[in-house]
Chain A
Amino acid sequence: MSIGTPKQPPTNTTSASAEVADRNPVDRGVKRWQFRFPKALRTPLGFIGAIILSIWLIVALFAPLLAPFNPLAQDFPRLSAPGGGNLLGTDTLGRDVLSRLIVAARTTLPAAVFVVICSAVLGSVLGAIAGYFGRAVDEIIMRIADLVFAFPTIILAMVIAAALGPGLKNAIIAILLVSWPSYARVTRSLVMSARNSEYVVAGRLLGFSAGKSLIREISPNVLSPVVVLATLDVGSAILTMAGLSFLSLGVVPPTPDWGAMISEGVSQFAAWWIAFFPGLCILTIVMAFNFIGDSLRDSLDPHTAQEVGETTS
């Protein structure tokens, strides 16, 4: 499954292609229709988001090499200010904040991406089934979704996490259970509008079964909004996860986690660095995902795509 929008060979007028190339210096010299992910980087914000995210990915990937100290070792004077031996200071137990931040990225990022992929798949499959088959199936699935929607996300996630007990796995389950309905709703409405469109009916007249019709005809047309939603959702998954850790319902100490670190910093307000830097981490990474999601939405928007198509026809 590709997330790229359909491209067409550049058979267009020279002025139009030159314009596209100017806005998109990254692609120059590359065969454009083979380049998978070009439009996301076309906006300044998307570019910034991509850079911040890739920095975070590198940090998470090489965390053991980048962390100056053992994140669990209580080797340093308690609450020492940033600068000196510990670049971002130490916490109440004398652990190096910078090392803890870097190592925490290793759990937060993969967990957030994983939970979003799971809930996107679960939600959109259920939503597609509800939208395509309608009637009783639709009612049952969507009323369950409404049930989840009836509670504020973080409260319900808290309840589920508290019921299951603290731990990363249970936090992931909790977030998965509260976040699938938004995908179900989006996919359902997209599938409902697509399934009555003439190209789907034409496919049905050619003898497509419901499943083939859903997978071949409908899914390419509903995929991009779901991808956009998922990208934007990674940010909120990170936030929710940090929120759960903040409430001691997420990652179990002493494993470093941004939310837990903020929680610790709140009780030590004079030592601002304990809470400030993990907050900054959450801010940058959520922002990065939102920037990428926004520019993805702009570039995958069918209307924008249509305009690109029309100018070249």
Chain B
Amino acid sequence: MTTTTTTEDTPRASKVPLLELDNVSCEYKLNGGGRFRAVSNVSLQLGRSEVLGLVGESGCGKSTLAKLICGLEKTAGGTITFESHPVKPLGLGRRPKNLLGVQMVFQNPYASLNPRRRIRDQLTDALALDPEHNWTVESLLEAVDLPLDAAQRFSHSFSGGQRQRIAIARALAAGPKVLVGDEPIASLDAFLQARIARMMRDLAIDSGASMIFISHDLSVVRDIADRVAVMEAGNIVEVGSTDQIWNDPQHPYTKKLLAAIPKVDGKGIIPG
């Protein structure tokens, strides 16, 4: 079952979607032969200045979908368009200029920064992309609450949360129209998760970008997303505004997911 929402659901979204996925599928070849359909016939739309939360359990295809949007995986069918440019898989050549507006924040902050380059150099590379030059290295570091001397340092001197903030700063520096967060908070502790997620949302919206925020943490998604898409086994089973999904879930899987959120009620019951 595949559900697409109409733009009426979301007051923020304008008529023409910024990013549109139409019937997109993705398959992986399995080692023993055969194929695994990681994403199957997904249709989604992302409007301007909108935060879409993508939730689902591990292995349901969330990350694959993020990679498809960035052109890091080949589609097995369907089309992805960003500002009416088709998203083509990134081969060995340079990424097309008109797709540079889609940037990604990766899951693992320990792997997403170059260990042998100074933070300043990595941010400067990204800054070169933004034609309007809204940011400087200093203002970026300030925006993500890092000290200015961080620019001169290497990534190994930062904690996981700090690294993730640098990664967010780098993605923002490129002046993205769509910021894709592929479980950017998954490897952070509970206190940081909400803070980093909030920071991502605020920075993305303030800079006029939309965001696709992938997470399996529903409470954080509820806090920051305007719309939520629920994914199960490669399919989008339900899309709706955050309130709608939260208060009136339609699909049984959504209900199950919501029921699985741990509640601090002192009863000592393990949910699920």
Contact = CB atoms under 8 A, between A and B. Distances in A.
A38 to B, nearest CB: 16
B170 A202 contact: yes
Interface stretch (A75-83, A146-154, A208-216, A242-250): A208-216
A197 B111 contact: yes
Contacts of A205: 70, 72, 90, 95, 100, 102-104
Interface in A69-126: none
Q: Which of A6, A201, A205, A208 has the most chain B CB atoms inside 10 A of its CB?
A: A205
Given A9-B153, A310-B156, A313-B158, A210 B112 contact: no
Contact of A221 (B94, B115, B118, B170): B115
B92 interface: yes
Contacts of B157: 8, 11, 309, 312-313
Secondary structure class of chain A's binding surface, majority of residues: helix
Contacts of B100: 205-207
A220 B170 contact: no
A217 B117 CA distance: 8
A310 B100 CA distance: 34
A309 B154 contact: yes
A19 interface: no
Given A217-B117, A313-B159, A207 B95 contact: yes
A198 B170 CA distance: 13
A310 B160 CA distance: 11
A101 B115 CA distance: 45
A302 interface: yes
Nearest to B162: A313
A313 B156 contact: yes
B108 interface: yes
Contacts of A133: 92
Nearest to B115: A221
A193 B72 CA distance: 17
Interface in A136-177: none
A217 B116 CA distance: 8
A204 B95 contact: yes
Interface string B205-238: 0000000000000000000000000000000000
A202 B103 CA distance: 8
Q: Which of B102, B111, B113, B129 has the most chain A CB atoms inside 10 A of its CB?
A: B111
Closest 5 CB pairs of A and B: A309-B156, A220-B116, A198-B112, A199-B114, A198-B111
22 contacts: A6-B154, A8-B156, A11-B157, A199-B111, A199-B113, A202-B106, A202-B167, A203-B114, A205-B72, A205-B100, A206-B129, A207-B95, A207-B97, A208-B94, A208-B95, A220-B114, A220-B117, A221-B116, A309-B154, A310-B156, A313-B156, A313-B157
Interface of B: 70, 72, 90, 92-95, 97, 100, 102-104, 106, 108, 111-118, 125-126, 129, 149, 152-154, 156-159, 167, 170-171, 174
Given A8-B157, A205-B100, 12 more contacts: A200-B114, A202-B167, A205-B104, A206-B100, A206-B103, A206-B129, A207-B94, A207-B95, A220-B117, A306-B156, A309-B157, A313-B157
